[in-house]
Chains A and B, each alone.
Chain A
Amino acid sequence: MSQEAIWKRLVVGEESEVLLRNTMRRVAHGLSEMINQPITANMPRIKQIPIAQVGTNAGAPDAEMVGIYLRIEAGLRGQAIIILPLTFALNLVDLVMANPRGSSLSLGMVERSALGEVGNLTLSYFLNAVSTLMEEVEMLQPSPPVVMVDMLGAILNIIAAPAAFMSDSLLVIETIFQDVARSVWIRLWVLPDPTIDWTSLLP
């Protein structure tokens, strides 16, 4: 199956809705097991975001945020970024490392490594679920994660700049994950590789 065909199944039509809902449920289940807390996923949304609005679509563009960026390097070509406020990132680190809440006060090497692992596992859960549900066995390889702590707009340059070579907007699968206590709140964006002409996929 071609890249375009795979992405089309993911983002267009009724099958896409069911596929993404089931995929994100599996991701939420994986995250729940990782941090030993129930995590829920909202209904995934397919968004076309103009480049000019990328900086404001996920919050205030100069707010301090944490971004975990990964590429999908085999089978399904794409990229993913997890965006979360610093406070939630610190909470997440405490949960992953089984520390009392409030233990992590800043993001050093160890904390960044823990967040990178969250990114790696989150995308792996996504890819495994997509692979199983689409019966495509190849799509299993996320790149090593890159963890950034900076202004949201600056973080999102990493996906906006390569995409802007080919288009004036981005195609994003957006899902929000959160726990009941709202101590963790994660925005996941999964996007086609910038070289894929996603405009031809849409009706």
Chain B
Amino acid sequence: MTEERFENLRPAPIGEMIVSATPNDVLIAYGLGSCVAICLYDPVVHVGGILHALLPTPTTESRVNGRPTKYVDRGIVLLLESLFKHSAKRFRLLVYLCGGAKMVTTMGFEDMLNIGERNVIAAHEVLEAHNLRIRAEATGGAAGRTVKLYIATGKVTVRTLRGGEEVLGS
């Protein structure tokens, strides 16, 4: 019996988060480009969550009523709150960070070149501010990624089209 045989894929759409304590659940963030996925997992109570954020932080021009989980800074706070409600403890959390690619490198598109990098920097800053150390990360580059978090084991995998699927942590 393998964990994959009974896996129940639960996607975290762009700009949203998902939390689970169900062993058969596999949380998945599909097709990360400049977006980042912050994966948090408590290995004692087997609860985990993924935030699929696409922007680092709201700007002054942003509408105030936008979904907070589309932002790295606000989304991490909400993800932590949700995990704590599921009995996760901060000191036990395993943290993984993926995504933040530079999908466009063409001259003339400079303003969109660094959203991925800014997402990664924001994630580092917010996680550090919450005393959370990143265990492993797959960030930057120019390729899309799909990330899975297995609730039963805490395994995290990252897939790219060229490199296939690799285990980031377990």
Residues of A within 8 A of B (CB): 51-56, 60-62, 64, 69, 71, 143-144, 146, 148, 150-158, 160-162, 164-168
Contact = CB atoms under 8 A, between A and B. Distances in A.
Interface stretch (B31-39, B83-91, B126-134): B31-39
Contacts of B156: none
A148 B103 contact: yes
A180 to B, nearest CB: 31
Query: What interface size band does chain B fall in?
Result: 20 to 34
B164 interface: no
Q: Which residue, B59, B62, B70, B103, has most C-beta atoms of chain A within 10 A?
A: B103
B48 to A, nearest CB: 20
Contacts of B13: 52-53, 55-56
Contact of B115 (A53, A60, A64, A161): A161
Give the interface SS of chain B, mostly helix, strand, loop or mixed.
loop
B32 A167 contact: no
Contacts of B108: 143-144
Contact of A55 (B31, B61, B112): B31
Interface string B26-49: 000011111100000000000000
Interface string B90-119: 000000000001011010110010010000
Given A62-B144, A161-B55, A161-B112, A151 B14 contact: no
Contacts of A153: 14, 30-33, 35, 144
Given A64-B161, A146-B109, A166 B30 contact: no
